[in-house]
Chains A and B, each alone.
Chain A
């Protein structure tokens, strides 16, 4: 019940194309859904996050779409660039009192390659 399932495992996109990564969750107590970007040898960096009270959030070229009834959310990267090549993780958390939203359950990760 604590799992977050992410797909695809890997994705190859041409420069300028749209990258789409999907995640699904089971635990209805989750109410915070961040996406992290990780480059080799680095820790994950927070990219964008959404709460279930909105269906979409956009920050620059990155958009999260959220479907509460289906318990699914996705990351869209518009105009994908070679510099976007990295591993992307979706995650989920629920408010847990003193621990706030820091206890994250991560998806399996998607390796994105953007060809020039």
Chain B
């Protein structure tokens, strides 16, 4: 299974600013995904990061708020833009192919 590294692991940010989260996979993977997890809650899919094309967003998530890049088969970034306290959450990336997807350890974001 792919091993996924995410950074930063946590950050405290001022409202109105943006944070870019990086996700690095130790092998080439076809698909990468970004999820959000409120502390103590379940995971919700934000978007599918497509290599070489625009990300595909789930209902309730938009590109202006969560721009995503996928420059190659081992790397992706998620930016949380113009942050508000409601964006405080854990953001996780996932990667793999076929069945069996692994997750990074997540980025715990607090917006003050």
Contacts and interface: CB of A to CB of B under 8 A. Distances in A.
Interface stretch (B12-20, B68-76, B78-86, B103-111): B103-111
Contacts, number: 69
B103 A45 contact: yes
Nearest to B30: A100
A87 B28 CA distance: 29
B51 to A, nearest CB: 10
A99 interface: yes
A102 interface: yes
25 contacts: A34-B100, A41-B105, A42-B106, A43-B4, A43-B103, A43-B105, A89-B42, A99-B48, A100-B98, A101-B99, A101-B101, A102-B31, A102-B96, A102-B101, A103-B33, A103-B48, A104-B33, A104-B43, A104-B45, A104-B94, A106-B42, A106-B44, A108-B41, A108-B42, A109-B42
Interface of A: 32, 34, 36, 41-46, 49, 89, 98-109
